[in-house]
Amino acid sequence: MKNKSMLIKQIDLNFVFVFVALLFVSMLASSCGETEPEISEDVSATEITDFAGRQLVYLLDEMDEAIEENPEGRRGPHVSVRSVRDGELFLISSRDWTSGFLPGVLWYMYELTGDDFWLEEARERTAPIEREKTNDGTHDMGFKIYCSFGNGYRLTGDPHYRDVIVESAQTLITRYNETVGAIRSWDFNRETWDFPVIIDNMMNLELLFRASEITGDPIYHDIAVQHSRTTMEHIFRDDNSSYHVVDFDTTTGEVRNLHTHQGEFHESAWARGQAWGLYGYAMAYRFTQLPEFLEQAEKIAEFMLNHPRLPDDLVPYWDFDAENIPSEPRDVSAAAITASALYELSTMVPENSDYYKQTADHMLASMYRNYRSDLGENLGFLLDHSTGNRPGGYEIATPIIYAEYYFIEAALRKQELEGS
Protein backbone atom coordinates (compact mmCIF):
# COMPACT_ATOMS: atom_id res chain seq x y z
CA MET A 1 0.00 0.00 0.00
CA LYS A 2 1.33 3.50 -0.90
CA ASN A 3 1.93 5.90 1.98
CA LYS A 4 0.55 9.45 1.96
CA SER A 5 3.72 11.16 0.71
CA MET A 6 4.07 8.60 -2.12
CA LEU A 7 0.44 9.19 -2.98
CA ILE A 8 0.99 12.95 -3.06
CA LYS A 9 4.04 12.49 -5.32
CA GLN A 10 1.98 10.25 -7.59
CA ILE A 11 -0.79 12.87 -7.73
CA ASP A 12 1.84 15.55 -8.46
CA LEU A 13 3.28 13.48 -11.28
CA ASN A 14 -0.19 12.82 -12.69
CA PHE A 15 -0.91 16.52 -12.50
CA VAL A 16 2.33 17.40 -14.29
CA PHE A 17 1.62 14.79 -16.93
CA VAL A 18 -1.93 16.06 -17.55
CA PHE A 19 -0.71 19.68 -17.58
CA VAL A 20 2.05 18.94 -20.12
CA ALA A 21 -0.39 16.94 -22.26
CA LEU A 22 -2.93 19.79 -22.22
CA LEU A 23 -0.22 22.30 -23.08
CA PHE A 24 0.88 20.15 -26.01
CA VAL A 25 -2.68 19.77 -27.30
CA SER A 26 -3.36 23.49 -27.02
CA MET A 27 -0.07 24.35 -28.78
CA LEU A 28 -0.98 21.91 -31.53
CA ALA A 29 -4.45 23.44 -31.83
CA SER A 30 -3.14 26.98 -32.01
CA SER A 31 -0.45 26.10 -34.54
CA CYS A 32 -3.12 24.33 -36.64
CA GLY A 33 -5.16 27.52 -36.31
CA GLU A 34 -2.45 29.38 -38.22
CA THR A 35 -2.65 27.15 -41.25
CA GLU A 36 -6.24 25.98 -41.10
CA PRO A 37 -8.54 28.97 -40.83
CA GLU A 38 -11.52 28.93 -38.55
CA ILE A 39 -14.49 27.92 -40.65
CA SER A 40 -17.75 29.82 -40.53
CA GLU A 41 -20.92 27.90 -41.36
CA ASP A 42 -21.56 28.24 -45.10
CA VAL A 43 -24.01 30.88 -46.27
CA SER A 44 -26.08 30.61 -49.43
CA ALA A 45 -26.44 33.33 -52.03
CA THR A 46 -30.18 33.23 -51.34
CA GLU A 47 -29.67 34.03 -47.66
CA ILE A 48 -27.41 36.96 -48.57
CA THR A 49 -29.86 38.19 -51.22
CA ASP A 50 -32.80 38.08 -48.79
CA PHE A 51 -30.89 40.03 -46.18
CA ALA A 52 -29.53 42.51 -48.75
CA GLY A 53 -32.96 43.11 -50.22
CA ARG A 54 -34.42 44.14 -46.88
CA GLN A 55 -31.44 46.18 -45.77
CA LEU A 56 -30.88 48.04 -49.06
CA VAL A 57 -34.43 49.37 -49.15
CA TYR A 58 -33.60 51.05 -45.86
CA LEU A 59 -30.31 52.40 -47.27
CA LEU A 60 -32.08 53.92 -50.29
CA ASP A 61 -34.67 55.60 -48.05
CA GLU A 62 -32.01 56.99 -45.73
CA MET A 63 -29.96 58.19 -48.68
CA ASP A 64 -32.84 59.92 -50.45
CA GLU A 65 -33.80 61.68 -47.26
CA ALA A 66 -30.21 62.80 -46.65
CA ILE A 67 -29.86 64.06 -50.25
CA GLU A 68 -33.11 65.97 -49.95
CA GLU A 69 -31.76 67.73 -46.88
CA ASN A 70 -28.32 68.29 -48.39
CA PRO A 71 -28.54 68.23 -52.21
CA GLU A 72 -25.36 70.07 -53.20
CA GLY A 73 -21.88 68.68 -52.66
CA ARG A 74 -18.49 70.34 -53.07
CA ARG A 75 -18.01 68.69 -56.46
CA GLY A 76 -21.56 68.71 -57.81
CA PRO A 77 -25.00 67.50 -56.82
CA HIS A 78 -25.11 64.60 -54.39
CA VAL A 79 -26.20 61.46 -56.25
CA SER A 80 -25.06 58.53 -54.16
CA VAL A 81 -23.56 57.33 -50.91
CA ARG A 82 -20.05 56.22 -50.08
CA SER A 83 -19.78 55.31 -46.40
CA VAL A 84 -20.77 56.02 -42.84
CA ARG A 85 -18.63 58.73 -41.23
CA ASP A 86 -19.24 59.96 -37.69
CA GLY A 87 -22.50 58.01 -37.60
CA GLU A 88 -23.91 59.71 -40.72
CA LEU A 89 -24.20 58.82 -44.37
CA PHE A 90 -21.35 60.30 -46.38
CA LEU A 91 -22.97 61.54 -49.59
CA ILE A 92 -21.11 61.93 -52.86
CA SER A 93 -21.42 63.49 -56.29
CA SER A 94 -20.73 61.55 -59.50
CA ARG A 95 -17.14 62.88 -59.35
CA ASP A 96 -16.26 60.67 -56.39
CA TRP A 97 -14.37 57.51 -57.40
CA THR A 98 -16.99 55.39 -55.61
CA SER A 99 -20.07 56.76 -57.41
CA GLY A 100 -20.59 53.64 -59.56
CA PHE A 101 -20.79 51.15 -56.72
CA LEU A 102 -24.32 51.75 -55.45
CA PRO A 103 -25.83 51.50 -58.96
CA GLY A 104 -23.70 48.37 -59.39
CA VAL A 105 -25.11 46.81 -56.22
CA LEU A 106 -28.63 47.51 -57.53
CA TRP A 107 -27.85 45.89 -60.89
CA TYR A 108 -26.57 42.81 -59.07
CA MET A 109 -29.74 42.73 -56.96
CA TYR A 110 -31.74 42.76 -60.17
CA GLU A 111 -29.61 39.93 -61.52
CA LEU A 112 -29.98 37.91 -58.32
CA THR A 113 -33.75 38.38 -57.98
CA GLY A 114 -35.12 39.25 -61.45
CA ASP A 115 -37.31 41.74 -59.60
CA ASP A 116 -38.24 44.88 -61.58
CA PHE A 117 -38.05 46.94 -58.41
CA TRP A 118 -34.26 46.59 -58.52
CA LEU A 119 -34.18 47.19 -62.28
CA GLU A 120 -35.93 50.54 -61.85
CA GLU A 121 -33.75 51.51 -58.90
CA ALA A 122 -30.62 50.55 -60.84
CA ARG A 123 -31.65 52.58 -63.88
CA GLU A 124 -32.51 55.61 -61.79
CA ARG A 125 -29.24 55.56 -59.81
CA THR A 126 -27.10 54.84 -62.88
CA ALA A 127 -28.29 57.81 -64.95
CA PRO A 128 -26.61 60.61 -62.93
CA ILE A 129 -23.19 58.96 -63.30
CA GLU A 130 -23.22 59.55 -67.08
CA ARG A 131 -21.65 62.99 -66.82
CA GLU A 132 -18.39 61.27 -65.83
CA LYS A 133 -17.91 59.87 -69.33
CA THR A 134 -15.97 62.97 -70.43
CA ASN A 135 -14.04 63.50 -67.21
CA ASP A 136 -10.40 63.01 -68.25
CA GLY A 137 -9.05 64.02 -64.84
CA THR A 138 -9.36 60.54 -63.36
CA HIS A 139 -8.28 56.96 -63.89
CA ASP A 140 -11.26 55.75 -61.86
CA MET A 141 -13.46 55.67 -64.95
CA GLY A 142 -13.87 51.89 -64.74
CA PHE A 143 -15.05 51.96 -61.14
CA LYS A 144 -17.56 54.67 -61.97
CA ILE A 145 -18.79 53.64 -65.38
CA TYR A 146 -18.21 49.90 -65.56
CA CYS A 147 -19.86 49.06 -62.24
CA SER A 148 -22.91 51.15 -63.23
CA PHE A 149 -23.32 51.32 -67.02
CA GLY A 150 -21.21 48.20 -67.67
CA ASN A 151 -23.47 46.01 -65.57
CA GLY A 152 -26.52 47.81 -66.94
CA TYR A 153 -25.46 47.08 -70.51
CA ARG A 154 -24.64 43.45 -69.70
CA LEU A 155 -28.11 42.93 -68.23
CA THR A 156 -30.29 45.03 -70.54
CA GLY A 157 -28.38 45.52 -73.80
CA ASP A 158 -29.53 49.15 -73.75
CA PRO A 159 -27.71 50.85 -76.69
CA HIS A 160 -27.42 54.10 -74.77
CA TYR A 161 -25.46 52.31 -72.05
CA ARG A 162 -23.21 50.88 -74.77
CA ASP A 163 -22.45 54.39 -76.07
CA VAL A 164 -21.61 55.62 -72.59
CA ILE A 165 -19.17 52.73 -72.10
CA VAL A 166 -17.41 53.45 -75.37
CA GLU A 167 -17.17 57.20 -74.81
CA SER A 168 -15.82 56.61 -71.29
CA ALA A 169 -13.18 54.24 -72.64
CA GLN A 170 -12.16 56.85 -75.22
CA THR A 171 -11.75 59.37 -72.41
CA LEU A 172 -9.78 56.96 -70.21
CA ILE A 173 -7.17 56.13 -72.85
CA THR A 174 -6.25 59.81 -73.17
CA ARG A 175 -4.35 59.17 -69.92
CA TYR A 176 -2.16 56.52 -71.57
CA ASN A 177 1.52 57.38 -71.98
CA GLU A 178 3.48 55.52 -74.69
CA THR A 179 6.89 56.03 -73.09
CA VAL A 180 5.75 54.59 -69.77
CA GLY A 181 3.39 52.03 -71.27
CA ALA A 182 0.66 52.72 -68.74
CA ILE A 183 -2.36 54.84 -67.89
CA ARG A 184 -1.68 57.66 -65.47
CA SER A 185 -3.44 57.17 -62.13
CA TRP A 186 -3.49 60.30 -60.03
CA ASP A 187 -2.97 63.96 -60.91
CA PHE A 188 -2.26 65.16 -57.36
CA ASN A 189 1.09 65.17 -55.54
CA ARG A 190 2.90 66.45 -58.64
CA GLU A 191 5.74 67.79 -56.50
CA THR A 192 6.60 64.16 -55.60
CA TRP A 193 5.37 62.02 -58.48
CA ASP A 194 5.94 62.50 -62.19
CA PHE A 195 3.63 59.71 -63.44
CA PRO A 196 2.06 57.62 -60.66
CA VAL A 197 0.49 54.26 -61.45
CA ILE A 198 -1.29 52.48 -58.61
CA ILE A 199 -2.20 48.82 -58.28
CA ASP A 200 -5.88 49.83 -57.97
CA ASN A 201 -5.76 50.99 -61.59
CA MET A 202 -5.87 47.36 -62.76
CA MET A 203 -9.55 47.47 -61.89
CA ASN A 204 -10.30 50.15 -64.47
CA LEU A 205 -9.17 47.94 -67.32
CA GLU A 206 -12.38 45.89 -67.47
CA LEU A 207 -14.01 48.92 -69.07
CA LEU A 208 -11.33 48.96 -71.78
CA PHE A 209 -11.50 45.23 -72.48
CA ARG A 210 -15.27 45.47 -72.83
CA ALA A 211 -15.02 48.55 -75.08
CA SER A 212 -12.90 46.55 -77.53
CA GLU A 213 -15.35 43.64 -77.43
CA ILE A 214 -18.24 46.01 -78.08
CA THR A 215 -16.65 48.07 -80.85
CA GLY A 216 -14.27 45.53 -82.41
CA ASP A 217 -11.53 48.19 -82.13
CA PRO A 218 -8.43 46.62 -80.50
CA ILE A 219 -7.00 49.91 -79.20
CA TYR A 220 -8.63 49.67 -75.77
CA HIS A 221 -7.68 46.01 -75.35
CA ASP A 222 -4.07 46.66 -76.41
CA ILE A 223 -3.66 49.53 -73.97
CA ALA A 224 -5.14 47.41 -71.18
CA VAL A 225 -2.69 44.59 -71.95
CA GLN A 226 0.29 46.94 -72.02
CA HIS A 227 -0.79 48.63 -68.80
CA SER A 228 -1.11 45.22 -67.10
CA ARG A 229 2.36 44.20 -68.30
CA THR A 230 4.03 47.45 -67.23
CA THR A 231 2.39 47.26 -63.82
CA MET A 232 3.34 43.60 -63.44
CA GLU A 233 6.96 44.29 -64.28
CA HIS A 234 7.46 47.03 -61.71
CA ILE A 235 4.94 46.98 -58.88
CA PHE A 236 5.53 43.54 -57.36
CA ARG A 237 8.17 42.58 -54.85
CA ASP A 238 10.03 39.26 -54.81
CA ASP A 239 7.51 37.83 -52.32
CA ASN A 240 4.68 38.74 -54.78
CA SER A 241 3.26 41.44 -52.57
CA SER A 242 2.57 44.73 -54.27
CA TYR A 243 3.63 48.30 -53.74
CA HIS A 244 0.74 50.72 -53.85
CA VAL A 245 2.29 53.34 -56.16
CA VAL A 246 4.95 53.08 -58.83
CA ASP A 247 6.08 56.47 -60.09
CA PHE A 248 7.58 56.65 -63.59
CA ASP A 249 9.77 59.17 -65.35
CA THR A 250 7.83 60.31 -68.39
CA THR A 251 10.95 61.15 -70.40
CA THR A 252 12.69 57.79 -69.95
CA GLY A 253 9.93 55.43 -68.75
CA GLU A 254 12.20 54.47 -65.80
CA VAL A 255 10.87 53.94 -62.28
CA ARG A 256 11.47 56.95 -60.02
CA ASN A 257 9.75 55.90 -56.80
CA LEU A 258 8.07 52.90 -55.22
CA HIS A 259 5.71 54.34 -52.65
CA THR A 260 2.60 53.84 -50.65
CA HIS A 261 -0.30 56.22 -50.26
CA GLN A 262 -2.86 54.29 -48.23
CA GLY A 263 -0.59 51.65 -46.68
CA GLU A 264 1.37 51.70 -43.41
CA PHE A 265 4.76 52.43 -45.05
CA HIS A 266 6.36 52.18 -48.48
CA GLU A 267 7.47 48.55 -48.09
CA SER A 268 4.25 47.35 -46.46
CA ALA A 269 1.55 45.20 -48.06
CA TRP A 270 -1.63 47.32 -47.97
CA ALA A 271 -4.43 44.76 -47.85
CA ARG A 272 -6.85 46.27 -50.37
CA GLY A 273 -4.00 46.86 -52.79
CA GLN A 274 -3.21 43.13 -52.75
CA ALA A 275 -6.91 42.42 -53.34
CA TRP A 276 -7.10 44.84 -56.28
CA GLY A 277 -4.08 43.12 -57.84
CA LEU A 278 -5.55 39.66 -57.39
CA TYR A 279 -8.90 40.65 -58.87
CA GLY A 280 -7.29 42.74 -61.61
CA TYR A 281 -4.98 40.02 -62.95
CA ALA A 282 -7.68 37.32 -62.82
CA MET A 283 -9.94 39.69 -64.79
CA ALA A 284 -7.13 40.50 -67.27
CA TYR A 285 -6.67 36.76 -67.83
CA ARG A 286 -10.41 36.36 -68.46
CA PHE A 287 -10.20 38.78 -71.39
CA THR A 288 -6.77 37.82 -72.78
CA GLN A 289 -6.10 34.17 -71.85
CA LEU A 290 -2.46 35.24 -71.37
CA PRO A 291 -0.91 32.75 -68.89
CA GLU A 292 1.37 35.45 -67.42
CA PHE A 293 -1.68 37.21 -65.95
CA LEU A 294 -3.12 34.03 -64.47
CA GLU A 295 0.25 33.19 -62.92
CA GLN A 296 0.41 36.65 -61.36
CA ALA A 297 -3.08 36.27 -59.91
CA GLU A 298 -2.15 32.90 -58.43
CA LYS A 299 1.02 34.30 -56.91
CA ILE A 300 -0.93 37.11 -55.25
CA ALA A 301 -3.48 34.61 -53.91
CA GLU A 302 -0.65 32.54 -52.47
CA PHE A 303 0.88 35.59 -50.81
CA MET A 304 -2.40 36.62 -49.23
CA LEU A 305 -3.82 33.27 -48.21
CA ASN A 306 -0.61 31.94 -46.69
CA HIS A 307 0.30 35.13 -44.93
CA PRO A 308 1.00 34.46 -41.24
CA ARG A 309 -0.90 37.62 -40.32
CA LEU A 310 -4.06 36.73 -42.22
CA PRO A 311 -6.49 36.17 -39.33
CA ASP A 312 -8.25 32.84 -38.88
CA ASP A 313 -11.56 34.37 -39.98
CA LEU A 314 -9.95 35.35 -43.32
CA VAL A 315 -10.78 39.06 -43.04
CA PRO A 316 -7.44 40.88 -43.31
CA TYR A 317 -6.17 43.70 -41.18
CA TRP A 318 -6.08 46.89 -43.26
CA ASP A 319 -2.37 46.33 -43.93
CA PHE A 320 -0.59 42.99 -43.60
CA ASP A 321 2.32 44.89 -42.00
CA ALA A 322 0.33 47.23 -39.78
CA GLU A 323 2.34 47.96 -36.67
CA ASN A 324 -0.08 46.94 -33.94
CA ILE A 325 -1.63 43.72 -35.24
CA PRO A 326 -3.79 42.23 -33.68
CA SER A 327 -5.05 45.60 -32.37
CA GLU A 328 -5.48 47.06 -35.86
CA PRO A 329 -8.73 47.63 -37.79
CA ARG A 330 -9.81 45.02 -40.29
CA ASP A 331 -10.68 45.79 -43.89
CA VAL A 332 -13.81 43.88 -44.88
CA SER A 333 -13.65 45.47 -48.34
CA ALA A 334 -10.33 43.69 -48.96
CA ALA A 335 -12.01 40.38 -48.01
CA ALA A 336 -14.98 41.07 -50.29
CA ILE A 337 -12.78 41.87 -53.31
CA THR A 338 -10.63 38.82 -52.57
CA ALA A 339 -13.59 36.45 -52.20
CA SER A 340 -15.06 37.58 -55.50
CA ALA A 341 -11.68 37.22 -57.24
CA LEU A 342 -11.16 33.74 -55.77
CA TYR A 343 -14.52 32.59 -57.17
CA GLU A 344 -13.34 33.72 -60.58
CA LEU A 345 -9.91 32.12 -60.11
CA SER A 346 -11.59 28.83 -59.16
CA THR A 347 -12.96 28.66 -62.73
CA MET A 348 -9.52 29.20 -64.26
CA VAL A 349 -7.24 26.74 -62.47
CA PRO A 350 -8.78 23.24 -62.48
CA GLU A 351 -6.15 21.77 -60.14
CA ASN A 352 -6.79 24.45 -57.48
CA SER A 353 -10.46 24.97 -58.18
CA ASP A 354 -11.74 23.42 -54.93
CA TYR A 355 -9.20 25.26 -52.82
CA TYR A 356 -10.07 28.67 -54.27
CA LYS A 357 -13.82 28.01 -54.17
CA GLN A 358 -13.77 26.74 -50.57
CA THR A 359 -11.61 29.64 -49.41
CA ALA A 360 -13.99 32.10 -51.08
CA ASP A 361 -16.92 30.32 -49.41
CA HIS A 362 -15.26 30.69 -46.03
CA MET A 363 -14.55 34.38 -46.60
CA LEU A 364 -18.09 35.05 -47.72
CA ALA A 365 -19.52 33.18 -44.73
CA SER A 366 -17.15 34.94 -42.36
CA MET A 367 -18.19 38.37 -43.66
CA TYR A 368 -21.86 37.45 -43.45
CA ARG A 369 -21.71 35.85 -40.01
CA ASN A 370 -19.15 38.08 -38.28
CA TYR A 371 -19.24 41.53 -39.95
CA ARG A 372 -22.85 41.93 -41.11
CA SER A 373 -24.94 44.87 -39.91
CA ASP A 374 -28.03 44.08 -37.88
CA LEU A 375 -31.17 44.57 -39.93
CA GLY A 376 -32.16 48.25 -39.76
CA GLU A 377 -28.75 49.30 -38.41
CA ASN A 378 -25.71 51.01 -39.92
CA LEU A 379 -28.03 53.25 -41.97
CA GLY A 380 -28.79 50.37 -44.30
CA PHE A 381 -25.26 49.25 -45.18
CA LEU A 382 -24.80 45.49 -45.31
CA LEU A 383 -21.34 45.16 -43.80
CA ASP A 384 -19.33 46.91 -41.14
CA HIS A 385 -15.55 47.19 -40.58
CA SER A 386 -14.05 48.31 -43.86
CA THR A 387 -11.07 50.62 -43.75
CA GLY A 388 -10.73 53.18 -46.52
CA ASN A 389 -7.72 55.28 -45.65
CA ARG A 390 -6.06 54.62 -42.32
CA PRO A 391 -3.06 56.97 -42.84
CA GLY A 392 -5.49 59.67 -44.03
CA GLY A 393 -7.46 59.13 -40.82
CA TYR A 394 -10.88 58.56 -42.38
CA GLU A 395 -13.23 55.65 -43.05
CA ILE A 396 -11.72 53.38 -40.44
CA ALA A 397 -13.64 50.21 -39.44
CA THR A 398 -16.86 51.52 -40.94
CA PRO A 399 -19.37 50.54 -43.65
CA ILE A 400 -18.09 51.45 -47.15
CA ILE A 401 -19.97 51.01 -50.41
CA TYR A 402 -17.32 49.12 -52.39
CA ALA A 403 -17.31 46.36 -49.78
CA GLU A 404 -21.03 45.93 -50.48
CA TYR A 405 -20.47 45.80 -54.25
CA TYR A 406 -17.85 43.03 -54.17
CA PHE A 407 -19.70 41.16 -51.41
CA ILE A 408 -22.86 40.98 -53.53
CA GLU A 409 -20.81 40.18 -56.63
CA ALA A 410 -19.18 37.32 -54.70
CA ALA A 411 -22.62 35.99 -53.71
CA LEU A 412 -23.67 36.12 -57.35
CA ARG A 413 -20.53 34.30 -58.47
CA LYS A 414 -21.10 31.64 -55.79
CA GLN A 415 -24.65 31.18 -57.02
CA GLU A 416 -23.49 30.83 -60.62
CA LEU A 417 -20.79 28.32 -59.66
CA GLU A 418 -23.24 26.22 -57.70
CA GLY A 419 -25.82 26.41 -60.47
CA SER A 420 -28.50 27.53 -58.07
Positions marked catalytic: 140, 200
What's the CA gap between 108 and 96, in Å, rounded?
21
User: Is residue 200 within the footprint of ligand GLY (CB under 6 A)?
Assistant: yes
- 326 preceded by a cis bond (ω within 30 of 0): yes
Phi, psi of 263 (to 5 degrees): -90, 180
Q: Which is nearer to ligand GLY, 118 or 270 (CB)?
A: 270
Residues 11-40 as x/- pattern, contact with ligand GLY by CB under 6 A: ------------------------------
Binding residues for ligand GLY, rule CB under 6 A, total: 4
Q: How far is the CB of 396 from ligand GLY (least distance, A)?
A: 13
Q: Which is nearer to ligand GLY, 67 or 383 (CB)?
A: 383
When asked if residue 272 is in the footprint of ligand GLY (CB under 6 A), the reply is yes
Nearest distance from C-beta of residue 273 to ligand GLY, angstroms: 7
- Give me the residues paired with residue 84 across strands: 89
What residues numbered 79-108 form the site for ligand GLY, per CB under 6 A? none
Contact set for ligand GLY, span 298-337 (CB under 6 A): none
The least distance separating ligand GLY from the CB of residue 140, rounded to whole angstroms, comes to 7
- Other Cβ atoms less than 10 A from the Cβ of 411: the count is 28
In the region spanning residues 374 to 393, those forming contacts with ligand GLY, defined by CB under 6 A, are 388
Per rule CB under 6 A, is residue 184 in the interface with ligand GLY?
A: no
CB of 262 to ligand GLY, least distance (A): 6
Distance, in Å, from the CA atom of 336 to the CA atom of 170, rounded to the nearest integer, reads 30
Q: Which of 201, 202, 204, 196 is nearest to 180 (CA)?
A: 196
Tell the smallest beta-carbon distance from residue 317 to ligand GLY (Å): 15
Strand pairing category for 182-183 and 245-248: unpaired
If DSSP codes are grouped into helix, strand and coil, which group holds residue 383? strand
Neighbours of 297 (CB within 10 A): 25
Q: 257-289: string of b/e by CB count within 10 Å (b at 16+)?
A: eebbbbbbeeebbbbbbbbbbbbbbbbbbbbbe
357 binds ligand GLY, rule: CB under 6 A: no
Using Cβ positions, the residue closest to ligand GLY within the complex turns out to be 200
Beta carbon nearer to ligand GLY, 121 or 247: 247
- Residues near ligand GLY (CB under 6 A) are 200, 262, 272, 388
